[in-house]
Amino acid sequence: MDKIKNWIRENPRCLILTYGIFYLAGFFALEARTGDFFLIDCPLDDKIPFMEIFVIPYVSWFLLIGIALIGTMIARKNDFLELCLLMFGGTTFCLAVYWFFPNGLNLRPEAVPDNPCGWLVSFLYTMDTATNVCPSIHVSSSVAVGLIAGKSRWFSGWPAARWLLYIWIILICLSTMMIKQHSVVDVASGVLLSLVLFPAVSLRPALYRRANQTIGYK
C-alpha cells in the first residue's frame, strides 16, 4: 500500500481517472430509470445485417480504452491529459443528453445464433439495456483515442501501428451497428461529438497549460 501511495503522490495525474466513479454512478442510474424513451431509428439500420462475430471488436473496446488511458498516463503525459479532456468531456455530454432526452432502440433481433459469439451477444443484451444510446459513448470515446493518436508523437516512428489503431477503431464503431447495440444515428452523433470537441482540446489554451502544471505535467 505504501508503494501505491507513493506512486500516486509522485504521479498525481492518475487521479483524473477517478472520473470513472462518477461516470459509472451516473450511467447505471440512467440505466435503471423507467418511463418514456424517444425511439432512435433510421432507414439504414434495416439494411445493416446482424453479425454476431462483430461482438469481438465490440468488447475489445474495453481493451482499447484501458491501453489508451494507462499507456498515455505512463508514457505520454500531455497526450493523457488531452485524451481525458476529450473522452471525459464527450462522456459527460452524452450523460447529459440521456438525462434530458431519454432515448432507446428497437433493433435487437428476437433470437441470436446459438454459438459462442451469439452467447456473448445475449450476455451483453442482459447487461446493457437498449436505452441511453444516442450519442454512442462507445463510438465517441473510440474516436477520441484515434484523434489524439493522430496528433501524438508516440506514433511518429510507427506509422503502421497508427493505421492498425485506426482500423481497430473503425471495427469497433461498425460493431456497434452490426450487433444492433446502436443505430447509424448514434454512431454518426458519437463521431461528430468528438470531432466538435477536439479543436478545443488540441488548441491547448492557457487553462489546460495551468492544469498541466497543477497535476505535475512537464
For the chain, what is the mean pLDDT?
A: 88
Do the Cβ atoms of 214 and 81 come closer than 8 Å? no
Q: What is the model's pLDDT at position 218? A: 44
Share of the chain above pLDDT 70, in %: 88
How many degrees, rounded to 5, is the angle at CA 201 between CA 212 and CA 149?
A: 95
The C-alpha atoms of residue 44 and residue 171 are separated, in whole angstroms, by 18
List the chain domain ranges: 2-214
Q: What is the mean pLDDT of residues 74-84?
A: 87
Q: How many residues does the chain have?
A: 218
The pTM score is 0.88
Q: How is residue 38 annotated by DSSP?
A: E
Model confidence pLDDT, tens digit, residues 168-207: 999 999 999 999 999 999 999 999 999 999 988 876 554 5
Confidence band of 14 (pLDDT split at 50, 70, 90): confident
Instruction: Say whether pLDDT at 20 is over 70.
Output: yes
Confidence band of 217 (pLDDT split at 50, 70, 90): very low
**Phi and psi of 163, rounded to 5°?**
-70, -35
Q: How is residue 107 annotated by DSSP?
A: -
Which set of grid coordinates corresponds to residue 117?
Answer: 459469439
Instruction: Say whether pLDDT at 55 is over 80.
Output: yes
Q: What is the mean pLDDT of residues 42-53?
A: 94
